[in-house]
């Protein structure tokens, strides 16, 4: 499985249930990577999307502890185990974990590839992603040239789990 995330220089990913910044090229990369694939997310992440609606042209799997939660055009599950069961018939490389923090944390052990957009700025944040640079199980396989959005510098990294 894959995960896809944008982090700041401290591996922060959000503040008050919102992304730290929206970079058009990063949003395009996310869309290109996940369209016609499976995305697994927590309920809070779903609720940050326009209208709280699932992403188009993807199988949306939403993990929530709310027993009565329901949403059209998504598969609602109540545990990581149920999420893994819901995607078992899909190729692992077509499944993307897209957040939030607790879902990333719980699903990281099932992922072999991490697409990380690193933003060279430290934002005020309250939500973080595990620092893969400090995790001996992960290594950088590829990185893009540095890019700039207004005065913000960022780059795309592909991490892989060491065999």
Question: Phi/psi at 92 (nearest 5 deg)?
Answer: -55, -40
Mean pLDDT of the chain: 97
- Domains, the chain, ordered by start: 2-161 (3.40.430.10)
Inter-residue contact 33 to 4 (CB < 8 Å): yes
* 38-62 pLDDT tens trace: 999 999 999 999 999 999 999 999 9
CA triplet 35, 15, 83: central angle to 5 degrees? 45
Asked whether residue 163 carries a pLDDT value surpassing 90, the answer given is: no
Mean pLDDT of 13-39: 97
- Measuring CA to CA, how many Å separate 69 from each of 23, 52, 61, 94, 143? 31, 13, 13, 26, 39
Q: According to the model, what pLDDT value does residue 109 have?
A: 97
């Amino acid at each position: 499985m894959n995960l896809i995330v944008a982090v700041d220089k401290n591996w922060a990913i959000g503040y008050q249930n919102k992304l730290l910044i929206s970079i058009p090229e990063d949003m395009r990369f996310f869309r290109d990577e996940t369209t016609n694939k499976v995305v697994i997310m927590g309920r809070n992440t779903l609720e940050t999307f326009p209208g709280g609606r699932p992403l188009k042209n993807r199988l949306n799997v939403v993990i929530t502890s709310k027993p009565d939660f329901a949403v059209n055009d998504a598969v609602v599950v109540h545990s990581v185990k149920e999420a893994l069961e819901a995607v078992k018939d899909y190729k692992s490389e077509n499944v993307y974990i897209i957040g939030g923090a607790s879902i990333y944390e719980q699903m990281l052990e099932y992922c072999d590839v991490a697409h990380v957009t690193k933003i060279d700025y430290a934002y005020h944040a309250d939500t973080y992603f595990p620092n893969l640079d400090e995790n001996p199980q992960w290594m950088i396989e590829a990185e893009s040239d540095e890019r700039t959005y207004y005065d913000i510098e960022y780059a795309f990294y592909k991490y892989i789990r060491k065999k």
